Structure 1
Amino acid sequence: MQHQIPTLLRNIGEFQLAEQQKVKATDVSEKSLNQLVSYVDIESEKMLVEGLLRITPDAGFLTEEETTSIRNEEQYWIIDPIDGTTNYLFGHTKFCISIAFYELGKPTYAAIYVPADNELFTADKDGAYLNGEKFKCSSRTLSESLIATGFPYYKFDEMEAYLSTLKDLMQKTKGLRRMGSAAIDLAYTAIGRFDGFFELNLSPWDVAGGAYIVQQAGGHVTDFQNEENFVFGNNILAGNHAIHANLLKLIKSKNF
């Protein structure tokens, strides 16, 4: 698996980069408020499913664009063909392919590929890797940290709590960043480009791959209630072990 998947992801990434300048407004539709999709998302997902079935022929799938109905509760892939579709459609480079393989309800492999940077983040039972080189999370404290998040873009009922959290973190950290791709935010948290990440209103395919990479890099991942329901539970908090507890305390005080 570890040898076949990089080739698959890089081939799909080449397709995405080639198509990025060709996508027209008429190629884009809105699934719901600010949830954009184009033929590149659809074709990328089909290529992913086809390629992963060759590698794991018995696997099922949980996919963003619902191009397949194959299910298998014992082993399945959670995949996002383009995490950061809005970035992609506006010509930005921070988008990625994110996949995670689950066996008996637990992740055993994950990969996030950022085509524009040719960076492949992976994780397995032995650790986390960037282009094959093993890495660990940072050990910076909250006052030393750079924190990533995502802005609400389709659900706004917790806006006040969110803005209050941002206000506090602006004063307690070195800064905040918003990349526009939760999967990239998590990969960057895993490798120490960020020290923590939190976001609301996410889907399993947004976080499954990145969360496992953070964990295998030595980081800590929970939901906002300090439970483990971060893949299917709609919110996620990830960070190195030096700051996770402080971030959790702050977020809990906002009553999300």
Structure 2
Amino acid sequence: MNQPFPSNESPFQGLRELIATLRGENGCPWDRKQTPESMRVYLVEEMYELLDALESDEPSAALEELGDVLFHVFFLSCMFEERGEFTAMDVAKANTEKMIARHPHVFGDDQAKTAEEVRARWHQFKKNQQKPKPEKRLLDAVPKSMPALMRAYRIIERASRVGVDRPPMGAGVDALDQKWAGLRQAFDSGDKETISEKLGPFLLELSGLSRQAGVHPENCLTRAANEFCRCFSHAEEELKEAGKDLEDVNPEEINRIIKKYEEEKP
């Protein structure tokens, strides 16, 4: 039998009650079966869908995907509440307190006039507030499950706080040229293992050089990938209008259309 759901609750309380119903004795078998461990993959998927929505610059898409991520926050919080550990309200309260403490220039007497000053003070505050953990190393705080390019950027950023940078400060593009020379030799050899050994460090150095320039390589690569998708899709549509299929066309013709589109687009 369908269960009635109260409609006079506040939106957040209503979402909390909805999840409690789904997880309840007469709720959804799938929802009841889930654990924090099983929900990890779904949370990652929702985060990527949210990033796509933000990239699209469509408010309605962002609204929907933010709602999905919010659902996951409440859903996971409900699981911990069932264990008697904490509630969604505890999560909100703890985060509010943390953000107030990390913004003494807004909620206290401290002063910070630039974004860089705020960032430096934030890192120092986090360092002071972190509870000592045995054998906790500087780079251990960077999640290993992060996408490789984002993780490389974050690792280099953290190492730079103690003066260790990649490439070394001042070396810049020259250091990258050296890595590129080794990589070219690896490609010339055709040995996959050698290419892999050289390509990884090159990408790491490139990520570090991006950080020194003040740009995030993840955003740069996303824009480049999106631009390639637009160009490729244009070529696909042009061929379709001509009654041709991609599989039946010479790659040179596809590249010609893409190059022409790149030269003509504003």
Shorter-chain TM range is under 0.3
Q: Which structure has more helix as a fraction of its residues? A: 2
TM-score normalised to the size of structure 2? 0.24
**Which structure has the larger Rg?**
2
TM-score normalised to the size of structure 1? 0.25
Q: Which structure has more strand as a fraction of its residues? A: 1
